[in-house]
Amino acid sequence: MALRIGIAGIAGRMGQLLAAEVAKVGATLSGGTLRDGGKAAPHGTPVFPDIAALFAASDVVIDFTFAETVPAHAAAAAAAGKPFILGTTGLSAAQEAAVAEAARAAPIVYAANFSPGVNLVFAIAEKMAAALPGEQYDAEIVEMHHRQKVDAPSGTAVAIGRAVARGRGTTLEEAGIESGRDGHTGPRGTGTIGFAALRGGQVVGEHTLLFAAGTEHIALTHRSFDRAAYAVGAVRAAHWAVSQPPGLYDMKHVLGMG
């Protein structure tokens, strides 16, 4: 039997790409939910009144909606005991805690970015950081996205920063963040991780990790040209998650790197 995949926010830009990918791989689109006051669902698509009803009709649900909806959606996954693929970014610490709590009862794949290429960048960034100590190499992350993006720095940029921190045996919070420099800021802190966020036009996503020393600079760059890459990864994660026990996973597990 084909996997039944539900999509939260099915009328949105990512929702439509996800629906197309579900059809492409031969899975069954069980339906979706809509945002209050938002666009209508594509013709013929089953629409459910709430997330609980969508979980009841699906084997797995994919969510690329809004941070404020995440706790309720994660709780619905836990109540149903069904896999939840979460690509929403900009979550607060409390919202992430709600996801972790729900993962005690359901398999949840939560990733800052579902692109296979970006997840390879995370792995490379960690290895580079381990080889390039913060006392000698300043780490800076520059990202650019479309003008409609509401959170900054991007979830992917933060994930790269966390990968750098892991490679150096610390956390992003302990290393210290340098962001939004303006005016007389003083010298750069040794070992800190810097972020710069650019917004404009319709850039899908560009991220560059720069290690800068007195003698050399090394840059690692990823550019997304089509959001379909995120849909490909998310649907791949949906197929993987249905055979997993409850727990909190990310794309490195899906790709066999965890």
Active-site residue list: 145, 149
DSSP string, 113-174: ---HHHHHHHHHHHHHHHHS-TTT-EEEEEEEE-TT--SSS-HHHHHHHHHHHHHTTS-HHH
Q: How far is residue 7's CA from residue 223's CA, in Å, rounded to a whole number?
A: 26
Quick count: other Cβ atoms within 10 Å of Cβ 179?
15
**Sign of torsion, CA 70 76 55 79?**
positive
Amino acid letter, 22: V
Distance separating alpha carbons of residues 82 and 60, to the nearest angstrom: 6
Contact 175, 168 (CB under 8 A): yes
Say which residues have a Cβ less than 8 Å from residue 133's Cβ, sequence separation at least 6.
Answer: 168
